[in-house]
Structure 1
Amino acid sequence: MDAKVVVVGSLNMDLVARAQRLPRGGETLAGDSFFTAPGGKGANQAVAVARLGASVAMVGNVGDDAYGQQLRQALQTEGVDCQGVSVCEGVSSGVALIVVDAASQNAIVIIPGGNGLLGPESVRRFDSLLQQAEVIICQLEVPSATVAWTLARGRELGKTVILNPAPASGPLPSEWFAHIDYLIPNESEAEALAGVPVNDQDSARRAAERLRQLGAGKVIVTLGSEGALLVDGAGGRHFPAAKVVALDTTAAGDTFVGGFAAGLARGLSEEESIVLGQRAAALSVTRAGAQPSIPYLKELAP
């Protein structure tokens, strides 16, 4: 079966330590627990798409190490098409070192490994997957030239193109915006991209409007416990979030993006797809880890 969604992006093994608080510079803290789990924004989003009811293929790189084998197997177990996941000889797989505090906030250090070798030619080899897809998703954990090529190719093919600009530390290249149907940043990413301070719904709307002025089709700013804000040519609409007790916010944004894309691929409306992403993300934050926290469609209350 052809994949309706193709995710071009990163695969990481997450090494997760929990502690009462995040360490200060030069400080050694006693932690509470440790575990490893498959992650990476691209792989997380692919798993979310699969678990939330749409067919999906992944294009990315792993290293020739044990983590690479585990990352690939984790995707295959979920039914993700992995023909586009290549093994890079002589390098490690991507790794994310994550510390989560008692308030469920996290600090993350990422080592790109094979993700850093995902060049445009790596994606071009699997152009048939892009041609067959309905929705194409990119993030910013692989080289920017690869993201640029994929966005442009997605627009050329007439696909629905989603960019989750994470992690973002500054503005995007101006030529990218015209290729993006849905730009989905969180609050800090919207602020970095738009140059507008974001601390509430009104400021998030201003940032989103600025990003639309730069050329993005529609902007969805995820606001954590405050929900999500959709800004398009008709104005803005706020979608409140379900109230939950958060344990770990890792991969919540990825779950939302994957759920939203899965909804579009399944033929749901834009509104229904946003709500699907929100419901899945709300459940994900009540669980630990990245991919282990992503719910299956059958777990979501009707």
Structure 2
Amino acid sequence: MSAAEVVVVGQVARDLVVRASRLPGPDGSAPARREWEGLGGKGANQAVACRRLGASAALVGVVGDDDAGARALRTAGRDGVDVSGVVVRPAAATALLLDVVEEDGTRRLLEDAPDEVLVRPEDVRASAGALAAARWVLLQLQTPADAAYAALEALGPAAPGAPCLLADGAPGDDGLREALLRRADVLRADAHEAELLVGRELPDVGAVEEAARELVAAGPRVVALGAGPEGNVVAWERGCLRIPLLDVDVVDKTGGGDSYVAALAVALLRGDPVEDAAWRASAAASLAVSVAGGRPRYDAAAVTDLVRDRRR
């Protein structure tokens, strides 16, 4: 694997989006149409988003030795993502994400991710050199805990020149939670994951702000938490910011969080102030959900234009 500014550790999958006017009842049927099909999975979405935003990116993940896995690797390669760290697992089927979207935008995700295509510690160790050489590592906490521990081991302790870690999600392992809080430069979680991180319900945006400040005090330099319809809360040592959901026509919520993570990381990588990075993350997420499927189709200029328009 060649040196990349951003290395993403996470899921690679085949993403299939189906739109239905309604969902059928038990034993029923309903008309539907295939909206989009292609490369998906949180890891792949984030790696592609980083490339579209101008950072070099590499991916550490797993596909099966089937046609879907081969297509995923070809697509990511055409997107400019280094896929030499993606393991092709013999006799395994590539993960499938079936995204069912109703006409009103309601989304339901069905996931077939066999154990064989989950990231294992040995998969991470095989790319340890690339992780250690990266400027940012994006780690999905959907990744099994033992693989996440292997990523932390490859990164080593936080120190000048060490890779910055952006952890995305909430680990079920309390020991991993504490290790991540000590090591992560940036922690991102949606509204439900935020409650898991702090171990309590967060009934309103004020409670989310309190949780974000609490998590910053535990170690991360920046904490970005989803606050449901209120948008996002971003906290750092010197401030706390609420950014509302940007007004766009939502077609499919798939990949919105992945674009948020990627844009936040790339903006901080480029040296943007936290407030500016947070706005860029919200804009990228908004652009992602304005099309079907999780594949990012915007570029850095589109993100800049949307920020300029909404931040006036």
Q: Is 1:298–2:301 an aligned residue pair?
A: yes
Q: What per-residue deviation string (whole Å, max 9, x for no partner) do you get for residues 69-122 of structure 1?
A: 111111111111111012100000111122112232212122223764421121
Partner residue of 2:199 out of 195, 199, 206: 195
Unaligned residue ranges in structure 2 (runs of 5+): none
Aligned partner of 2:271 in structure 1 is: 267
Residue by residue, what CA displacement relative to the aligned partner does 1:219-266 show, whole Å, maximum 9, x if unpaired? 101345533211233342212332112111100000110111121223
Count residues with an aligned counterpart: 299
Q: CA deviation at 1:123?
A: 1.2
Partner in structure 2 of residue 12 of structure 1: 13
1:112-191 correspondence to structure 2 within 5 Å: 112-113=113-114, 116-156=117-157, 158-165=162-169, 173-191=177-195
* Alignment CA distance shift 1:282-1:29 (3 Å): same
Give 2:284's match in structure 1, choosing from 257, 280, 283. 280
- % identity of equivalent residues: 32
**Per the alignment, in what secondary structure is the counterpart of residue 71 of structure 2?**
helix
**Structure 2: distance between partners of 1:22 and 1:151:** 42
Q: Which residues of structure 1 form unaligned runs of 5+? A: none
The answer to whether structure 1 residue 240 and structure 2 residue 244 are counterparts is: yes
Question: What CA RMSD, in Å, does the superposition of the two structures yield over aligned residues?
Answer: 2.4
SS of match in other structure, 2:104: coil
More displaced stretch, 281-290 vs 201-210? 201-210
SS in 2 for 1:161: strand
Alpha carbons 1:64, 1:90 under 8 Å: kept: yes
**Residue identity in the other structure for 2:293:** G
- Once residues 23 and 200 of structure 1 are traced to their aligned partners in structure 2, the CA distance between those partners, rounded to angstroms, is 34
- Residues 208 and 225 in structure 2, CA contact (< 8 A), matched pair in contact too: yes
Once the two structures are superposed, residues 107-164 of structure 1 have per-residue CA deviations (whole angstroms, 9 ceiling, x without a partner) of 2122223764421121111122112210000113332111122134334362211011
Q: 1:228 aligns with which of 232, 241, 259?
A: 232
| Structure-1-length-normalised TM-score | 0.89
The alpha carbon displacement at 1:55 in A equals 0.7
TM-score (norm 2): 0.87
Preserved CA contact (<8 Å) 1:155 1:161 = no
Change (3 A) 1:115 1:4: farther
